[in-house]
Amino acid sequence: MQTGQACDKIRNNRKCDKDGEEMIETEVIEVDLGGRVIKMQIVKNSEEVLIDAINDEETPVWVELWPPSLAIARWLWEGPSLAGKSVLELGAGLGLPGVVAGLKGGQVLQTDYIPEALRIARENAALNNVSGIRTAVADWRSFDISGTFDYIIGSDILYHPELNPYLKKIFQTNLRPGGTIVMGDPGRRESLAFVKSLADEGWHVTERFLKVKQGVFDYRIHVFRIRTPG
């Protein structure tokens, strides 16, 4: 199930608008990055939405604020200024890393293939008084974003291994020479294998671990910093 799917396709009773489309309920929470609190509008009924997903192809993973996004947000906040740097966010979802990149001075383009996700991402930028963030609907399989960027960032974007070749093509096409990719991942075997394959091809890969807390749970997130070969 994706946002906007007709309610007669949803297994449980859910709120619908006048056109019979599913309504997403949201609430605002605070995310503490250590010295900076970020306001985030999140999907209040995210667990219900995920449970009601019809199949893996349509699973609306964007509705959840996943631990890797917290790790990338913290990495960006603790890192150097991004003033004057261009930043492409892949699979933006609710947009936390992109918002932080904007707060650090970056010129950010947030992309996702779900328009509703980008709508909430824009609202999250406004909640934190971040102006100048652009958004674009984009599918990795037919990625039509032109231009190159100093940074490409992504949180848990390696969850479908069959999409990794498309991501690699985006890295090759849209990363500026000398640019940096920053990815957060929970440590899936397929994800680690993909990153290793990049290193084997000459990409410069460094890895660190960040511990983040979400609710009562602690997570150890792999944060990869990948630079162009040569």
Q: Is the pLDDT at 106 greater than 60, yes or no? A: yes
pLDDT digits (tens, 9 = 90+) for 183-214: 999 999 999 999 999 999 999 999 999 999 98
Give Cβ neighbours of residue 159 (< 8 Å, ≥ 6 apart): 61, 188, 191
Percentage of residues of the chain with pLDDT beyond 70: 82
Instruction: Write down the mean pLDDT value for the chain.
Output: 87
Residue 9: per-residue pLDDT: 34
Percentage of residues of the chain with pLDDT beyond 90: 70
Looking at per-residue pLDDT, the higher value among 115 and 170 belongs to 170
The CATH architecture assigned to 66-227 reads: 3-Layer(aba) Sandwich (3.40)
Q: Where are the alpha helices (H) located in the chain, listed in sequence order?
A: 46-51, 67-78, 96-103, 115-127, 164-174, 189-200
Tell me phi and psi for residue 57, to 5 degrees. Answer: -60, -35
Looking at per-residue pLDDT, the higher value among 45 and 158 belongs to 158
Domain assignments of the chain as residue spans, ordered by start: 66-227
Query: How does residue 42 score in pLDDT terms, banded at 50, 70 and 90?
Result: confident
pLDDT digits (tens, 9 = 90+) for 207-217: 999 999 988 89
pLDDT digits (tens, 9 = 90+) for 14-41: 444 445 455 678 889 999 998 899 999 9
Q: Cα–Cα distances in Å, from 169 out to 7, 144, 188?
A: 37, 12, 21
> What's the CA angle centered on 186, arms 166 and 64, to 5 degrees?
80
Q: Is the pLDDT at 13 greater than 50, yes or no? A: no
The β-bridge partners of 107 are: 86
Q: Is the pLDDT at 5 greater than 60, yes or no? A: no
pTM of the model: 0.86
Q: Is the pLDDT at 162 greater than 70, yes or no? A: yes
Query: What are 136's two structure tokens?
Result: 């674009």
d(CA 214, CA 84): 32
Q: Is the pLDDT at 121 greater than 90, yes or no? A: yes
Looking at per-residue pLDDT, the higher value among 5 and 128 belongs to 128
Residue 12: per-residue pLDDT: 39
Please say whether the beta carbons of 224 and 185 come within 8 A.
yes
Looking at per-residue pLDDT, the higher value among 127 and 6 belongs to 127
Residue 2: per-residue pLDDT: 37
Residue 45: per-residue pLDDT: 58
Question: Roughly what angle, to the nearest 10 degrees, separates helices 96-103 and 67-78?
Answer: 10
